[in-house]
Structure 1
Amino acid sequence: MPRVFVWKGWEFLFYSLDGSEPPHIHARSGRKELKIWLDSLKVARNSRCRPHEVGELLAVVSERRREFLERWHEHFGN
């Protein structure tokens, strides 16, 4: 599970078995997790995140999208 970035206690990471899905990133903090598609910047799944957290996390992913996509392709080779 490659950790890509850490921000305010949130880990941004990939799960190693996610390579068959379109590029996305997981943001995780404790029991909260958000899965975001990198192409559309849409939420794929929300587990326990509050609306203001979703907004903040989407802003971070938008700012770092290029980096996350590069890391995705480096890790999964696609």
Structure 2
Amino acid sequence: MPTILRWGPYRAFFYSNEGNEPPHIHVRSADFEAKFWLHDLSVAANASVAANAGFPAHEIVAIVRHLRSHRDFLESKWHEHFGN
């Protein structure tokens, strides 16, 4: 479960056994976790959310905004880690 990015209370990471899925990132803060599709970060915030366990909507929007600004980096790390 490599951590790719940290900011404020958030940690963005991959689960190493999910390389067969499309590129995505998990974000955790305290007891909350959400999964975001990297290819959908350029569209509406709710389109990029694959799963959300606890984050309120306004926080999801802020997380997506931050991930969007690092999308190329995150995607390159995905391909580097999973080799695809």
TM-score using structure 2 length: 0.90
In the alignment, the residues of structure 2 paired with residue 30 and residue 3 of structure 1 have an alpha-carbon distance, to the nearest angstrom, of: 15
Moved over 4 A (4+): none
One of 66, 73, 78 as aligned partner of 2:79: 73
> Which ranges in structure 2 are unaligned for 5 or more consecutive residues?
42-47
Give the corresponding residue for 1:36: 36
Deviation at 1:30, TM superposition (A): 1.5
CA distance in 1, matches of 2:77, 2:14: 9
Structure 1: 5+ residue stretches without partners: none
SS of residue matched to 2:11? strand
* Aligned-partner SS, 1:57: helix
Counterpart amino acid of residue 24 in structure 1: H
Residue identity matched to 2:6: V
CA-to-aligned-CA distance 1:23-74 (integer Å, 9 cap, x gap): 0000101110110000012100010001111011000110000000000000
The equivalent residue for 2:4 is 4
Give the % identical residues: 42
Matching residue of 2:57: 51
Q: Distance in 2 between matches of 1:60 and 1:14?
A: 17
Distance 2:49 2:57 in 1: 11
